[in-house]
Amino acid sequence: MRLFEILLLVSLTILPFCWKFFARKFSSYYLIGGLAVLIILQLVVEGYRWQLLPAYLLAVILALRIRFANAENPFQFSALSVFRGLGYLLLLVPAWVLPLVLPVFKLPEPRGPFAVGSKNIHLETNRPEPITENKEDKRQLMLKVWYPAMADDTPTETYVPGAGRDAFALKYGLPASALNYLDYVKTYVHPEAPFAEGRFPVLIFSHGYGSKATGYYALLSEIASQGYIVINMNHTYESLGTTFPDGSEVYFDYAWQQQIAANQMETITPIQQAFHDSISFEQRQKIVRDAVQDYFEGDIQERWVQDMQEVLDRLPQWNRSGFLKDRMNLNQIGAFGHSVGGGAAGRLNLSDTRIKAGANLDGIQWGTKIDTLFQKPFLYVSADWPAEHEDLNAHIYHKKSTDYFYQAKLLNSGHPNFMDIPFMVPVKALAGTGSIDAEKGIHIVSDLVTTFFDRHLKKEPNANLESFSTSSLLEFQIFKGDSIR
């Protein structure tokens, strides 16, 4: 919480017990005036947000109590005093809980040598759009480019504006205005800031299924600040929301999800049954092999691979003209992603020679990887999943790479720890995050990803991946040619 929010709530918590003492010693008007000043300062300096409505209401109730109650009368226990106390408590609890659960949070400041700029690109393809009912529709994509910029004093962008924010609110049955408090979250990204001098490696990033496509500010702004152009995919109808240049918005298609996911548990059930029956890893391998090639998320990942290839096809043109002109080193292209997007990045790494290295952040790579090897460097980072569940990627990545394969587990983390969720919703039980400190966790992941691409795209000899083996919050292994080093 912010300073004046804390001061207001502390005052509302303490004053009911001691206001009579101060009113007798000074004046009740000083107390009322102090509350009024606190509220005015909070509104002017920090800004209104609906999470503080119970606090504002409590301040009015307390001010009326101080104004009209007799400070000389000693406290007397009665049914009325109990009723008043319970009523006050019923407002005091949400007055604290709401701003704590939904705070105006602080994003980590990027630590790299570059400022971070951003620009949106609208990409129209000739591929049919499979998700809409109109067979004439062509697939359209919105991309957000995060890039190394020259430091300037231009305003920073609003945190997750537009459809991504609106859809996040609607997902939980809230009006779109419920997330307007996110306007107060400071980002470190400057829209359309001047590019830094030089050519930079290009990374294509694919988000999680049904997530905010750009809800990775902490991770992606850090990587861009280290000298990478990050092209942030927004897979239309499969992210939470997309805003097109004409202002139209489209959201995650829940009806489509239900259609393609129907009866899919039948594919997964044999895996769960085999695991709980304590069948050997080798015997489970065949069961997993059949399932991962049939599960519906494999089709999603293949569609997302095609989306990313649309971007790859246009990179030479964008490097000749437009705001990316002469800024991209097209001999240094990588792909990475989170969750379903991480698996899609793995598929792209497997199939497209333009990708020189790839990384998967806690995603299952559905499809045929289980039968083959990567032919280039790959990094797999997982959350700290409970041991009572089958680790599908242990089977899928059983065959690793003819090159380097890096395998890491971020200890005490959950699946959302790779996103901004642990900052946005700091209550771990609600967010599904682990006990790891949010900023420390995202720094470990961004450092690992950046060092990986530093070594295998930039070919920097001092990119010391081996140093991650000593981290107390990371399990880390390096494989070369499918054998451990």
Whether 107 is in a domain gets the answer: no
- What does the DSSP 8-state code read for residue 462? T
Q: 62 is written with which tokens?
A: 């307390």
Q: What is the pLDDT of residue 68?
A: 78
Confidence of residue 103 (pLDDT cuts 50, 70, 90): very high
- Do 79 and 199 belong together in one domain? no
Last residue within a domain, chosen from 36, 67, 101: 101
CA distance linking residue 39 with residue 398, whole number of Å? 59
CB 234 within 8 A of CB 364: no
Whether 432 is in a domain gets the answer: yes
CA distance linking residue 469 with residue 412, whole number of Å? 16
Whether 54 is in a domain gets the answer: yes
Whether 299 is in a domain gets the answer: yes
**Which secondary structure element, helix H or strand E, spans residue 379, and what is its range?**
strand 378-382
- Do 67 and 211 belong together in one domain? no
**pLDDT (tens digit per residue) in 292-316:** 998 999 999 999 999 999 999 999 9
Give residue 151's domain range. 115-484
Q: What is the pLDDT of residue 72?
A: 62
| Percent of the chain's residues with pLDDT above 70 | 98
Q: What is the pLDDT of residue 384?
A: 97
- Do 220 and 85 belong together in one domain? no
Neighbours of 259 (CB within 10 A): 11
CA distance linking residue 216 with residue 12, whole number of Å? 36
CA torsion 128-130-136-141 (nearest 10°) is -60
pTM: 0.92
Last residue within a domain, chosen from 72, 101, 130: 101
- Do 74 and 163 belong together in one domain? no
**pLDDT (tens digit per residue) in 167-199:** 988 888 888 889 999 999 999 999 999 999 999
**pLDDT (tens digit per residue) in 250-263:** 999 999 999 999 88
Burial label for 351, CB within 10 Å (0-12, 13-18, 19+), is: middle
Confidence of residue 375 (pLDDT cuts 50, 70, 90): very high
CB 343 within 8 A of CB 361: no
**pLDDT (tens digit per residue) in 127-159:** 999 999 999 999 999 999 999 999 888 899 999
If DSSP codes are grouped into helix, strand and coil, which group holds residue 436? coil
CB 58 within 8 A of CB 12: yes
Question: Which region, left, alpha or beta, applies to residue 19 given φ > 0 means left and ψ of -120 to 50 means alpha?
Answer: alpha
The residue among 102, 192, 119 whose CA lies nearest residue 152 is 192
- Do 333 and 470 belong together in one domain? yes
- Do 165 and 205 belong together in one domain? yes
Percent of the chain as helix, strand, coil, to the nearest 5: 45, 20, 35
Last residue within a domain, chosen from 101, 127, 143: 101
Whether 106 is in a domain gets the answer: no
Whether 236 is in a domain gets the answer: yes
Neighbours of 315 (CB within 10 A): 18
- Do 417 and 344 belong together in one domain? yes
Question: Which region, left, alpha or beta, applies to residue 27 given φ > 0 means left and ψ of -120 to 50 means alpha?
Answer: beta
Is the per-residue pLDDT at 485 higher than 60? no
CATH of the domain at 222: 3.40.50.1820
The residue among 380, 345, 348, 396 whose CA lies nearest residue 478 is 380
Alpha helices in 397-437 (DSSP H): 421-424, 428-431
CA distance linking residue 28 with residue 178, whole number of Å? 36
| φ and ψ at residue 318, rounded to 5 degrees | -65, -25
Neighbours of 350 (CB within 10 A): 21
The residue among 30, 25, 39, 24 whose CA lies nearest residue 69 is 24
CA distance linking residue 90 with residue 87, whole number of Å? 5
Q: 162 is written with which tokens?
A: 């537009």
Whether 259 is in a domain gets the answer: yes
Mean pLDDT across the chain, nearest whole number?
93
